[in-house]
A and B are shown apart, each in its own frame.
Chain A
Amino acid sequence: MTKRGWTKLLLWVGLVVIAFALPTILRRDPYWLTVFCLLAINTLLVSSLRSVTLINEISLGQVGFAVIGAYAHAALMMKAHIPFWPSLILSSLFSALIALAVAYPFLKVKGIYFSILTLLTAETFRLVAYYWTSMTGGSLGLTGVPGPGKQQVPFVGEVNFDRPANYYYIAVGVVLVALLILYWLERAYISFQWRAIRDDNLLAGAVGINVIGYKTINFVIAAFMAGLSGALFASYQHNLSPDTTSRFGVSMSIYLLVYMVVGGKDYFVGPLMGTTVLMLIAEATRSSQQYQPMITGAIAILVILFLPMGLVGIPKQVRSWRRVKRLRAAGVDGVNPAGKEGKA
């Protein structure tokens, strides 16, 4: 293992350790735990969006699959009385199933059209939830979505996971497992096909890669993860509403993208970084009220203008700036910082 690999692993382990030690540190203030809980759920959603970028598409419809996951989970638990864990998996699978059903025609559409298509699809799913009042409660919302309830944990005894402080473990745990799976997939053999498709769609097809097939697998996995995050959210919040202002609205779809780009879309930890930074800034600037959106907007624009690799890419960015400075000092012309390689 290389030195970088070591530091990377240590960083990851440190992150996980901190994540699980947080409730103990923050025992006096469960409020921050609810924030971190949401943060974990959002990170999963953003990561699912990033996963689609591996096939060079920008899906603005991850929120749509989160709607499906959330309401399916609520329906399974409330109407069919299925316990938490099977329901969590089933609702995510349901969301993946819907993605599978629409995948073939959807993935034929490319580029900007794919983004618009997925954005409108997500909005359609939300509106269906909004108007299907017998199932979803409509704009009044659905209340009383159960959480995991009291469960037996080995070595510990019975723990009531409905309390936000304890639900945190479930949310963070599930999200970590999901992220590990995504990470593994990105390193696995299948990602070679995805990368081939990302780099050159036609060439990938020409060398015998089943382009639509591999795209479908990617899309379905991303939908599964989005559905999972929706289901986790339903049990966290205990109520759901499909209002425009809710987390299932169009603006959320777009924010997810902003989270990803601010963090750094080329890095696996980009979504985590972007979500963490932007959500914590939003929490820290709570008191500034109407100026708050302005701060988020300014950060998004500044990052894309000056840090095209995102926050995670800062070290690399700094290195490239230094290199350019050194070369300029040495009298070499015509070099620009990485990401700004001249107009030629």
Chain B
Amino acid sequence: MRSKRVFLICAVLVIGVLLFSLSACAKEETTTSSAPATTAAPSTTAGPETTAGPTTTGAPAGEVKTLKIGTIMPQTGPLAILGLAFTRAWDLYAEDVNQAGGVKIGNDTYQIKFIHEDSKGSAEGASTAASKLVNQDKVDLVIGAILESEMAAINQVTEAAGVLYAQANANIPGAPQDVSSDKPLQVRPFINHDETGPIDLDYIAKTYPEAKKIALSVPDIGYEGMVERLQAQVAARGMQIVAQEKWPWGTTDFVPIMTKLNAAKPDIIWAMVSGQANDQLKAARQLGFKGVFVSNSPLGADVFVVTVQDPAALTDVICNSVDVTHPTPEVKKLMDAWQAKWPNDPFISDAVHAYDMPWVMVQVMQKAGAIGDAATLVKTMEGMTNPGDIQTLHGPGYIGGADRFGVNRVLYRPLPLSRIMNGQIEFIGFMEPVKE
């Protein structure tokens, strides 16, 4: 009998606490829902404390403040090497800025502070990391992520908190992750690697006039739209795609895929945007493919040389990512800084892409005159569409993408084009992305 009474008391206690805390959260709700009337920003759910942070408003001019940028990259798991390259580049960017005394945005000077978080290569990890960055660290900007699922998870958190999200690597226009008008606070200061299609094709038409038949190797992660686009570009040059193979994400052995592509007797094997183009080259050459190999991926030509080893395989390889053997002065500076800091680790060319990201965002903030409100920054960025509006490590760039994404929120900049012959990298030049 007594135990029953105890049970009842406990139950009442529990229900009481439940109601109390629920009413507390409902109160919170009412305070936040009244907030947007005054700030007029879409950041309704963030609560008053994020919008009135010490970095945004009310400070006297000329003060040195901190621009907090949260980064989310896989630092453990199979993609951790990319996380390493990106976060190191960001640290080097922060060093560059802070050693120069900070960056002037509006009337204030800002020191840059990065807070790095691990996404563990999963959407769940990315979401938790984003929650930590926006809620606990109260960052002004979130950048990063590699996998499409990670980016979707991050955007869901940042958008709800009214924080700007600069994503790193979405390659798939039209996929639910990429920039579009229904994701108001997401931008991409990163070039789409399939922009190189026309450049590569024109170069091939000029250098290998007899090569007409293309076999496509496509990662099976929703690249259909990009394949269609490439098909049109190929057809416009009198070439044709004779075979197309999709491989699932996580493939390590490319021999089966290349066996099948090679069976179509192509003149060109075209590895669509993938970090594993080097493995594909290795497999294709081992199977006796002698033609042109095109990689439009973020992999630098140097990566091919180091990983494929065999000079016979490293011939007629066309590559249009970073060419570390022919860097621009800015890229050279970055490489030297890297080598000075991590003398035992070879430079990873992905760092070049990464370095541009916070730099572009800072330029947007400078143009807007404040680091503040995310929606204004996006609007400012959408206006920077003239060539030269943005500086990058590869020279002047601009923001574009309305033709493909419906909004101008994607970085465009000159693309280096290189060819590997007998294991040696030949630099061909910087090419402007062509709209087609």
Contacts and interface: CB of A to CB of B under 8 A. Distances in A.
A17 B14 contact: yes
Given A21-B17, A140-B175, A290 B76 contact: yes
B52 interface: no
A237 B23 contact: no
A5 interface: yes
Contact of A243 (B24, B127, B135, B249): B249
Given A38-B128, A245-B77, A290-B80, A160 B121 contact: no
B2 interface: yes
A115 interface: no
Contacts of A144: 176
Which of A153, A166, A243 has the most CB atoms of chain B within a 10 A radius of its CB? A243
B131 interface: yes
Given A23-B24, A155-B23, A289-B118, A239 B152 contact: yes
A239 B135 contact: no
Given A241-B149, A244-B250, A246-B123, A143 B26 contact: no
Nearest to A172: B18
A18 B319 CA distance: 58
A313 interface: no
A141 B135 contact: no
Nearest to B19: A155
A130 B152 CA distance: 17
A239 B17 contact: no
Contacts of A280: none
How many A residues are at the interface, by size bracket?
35 or more
A235 to B, nearest CB: 12
B177 interface: yes
Contacts of B147: 139, 241, 243
Contacts of B49: 28
A231 to B, nearest CB: 15
A17 B76 CA distance: 36
A74 to B, nearest CB: 13
B117 interface: yes
A159 B26 contact: yes
Given A17-B17, A28-B49, A238 B25 contact: no
Interface string B153-197: 100100010000000000010011100000000000000000000
A318 B23 CA distance: 43
B23 A140 contact: no
A38 B124 contact: yes
A31 B45 contact: no
Given A38-B124, A243-B122, A245-B121, A290 B75 contact: yes
Contacts of B131: 30-31, 34, 164
Given A140-B222, A237-B127, A286-B117, 16 more contacts: A20-B17, A21-B21, A24-B24, A31-B136, A34-B128, A131-B248, A137-B176, A139-B147, A155-B22, A157-B26, A158-B29, A160-B29, A241-B147, A243-B147, A245-B77, A246-B123
28 contacts: A1-B3, A1-B6, A5-B3, A9-B10, A13-B13, A17-B17, A21-B17, A22-B21, A24-B21, A27-B24, A35-B128, A137-B176, A138-B220, A139-B147, A139-B149, A141-B152, A143-B152, A153-B22, A153-B26, A163-B45, A165-B28, A169-B25, A245-B77, A245-B122, A246-B124, A286-B117, A289-B76, A289-B118
Interface of A: 1, 5-6, 9, 12-13, 16-17, 20-24, 27-32, 34-35, 38, 130-131, 133, 137-141, 143-144, 153, 155-160, 163-166, 169, 173, 237-241, 243-247, 286, 289-290, 292-293
Interface of B: 2-3, 6-7, 10, 13-14, 17-26, 28-29, 45, 49, 74-78, 80, 117-118, 120-124, 127-128, 131-132, 135-136, 147-149, 152-153, 156, 160, 172, 175-177, 220-222, 248-250
Q: Closest 9 A-B residue pairs measured CB to CB? A: A241-B149, A141-B149, A31-B135, A245-B121, A1-B3, A31-B136, A245-B122, A13-B10, A34-B131
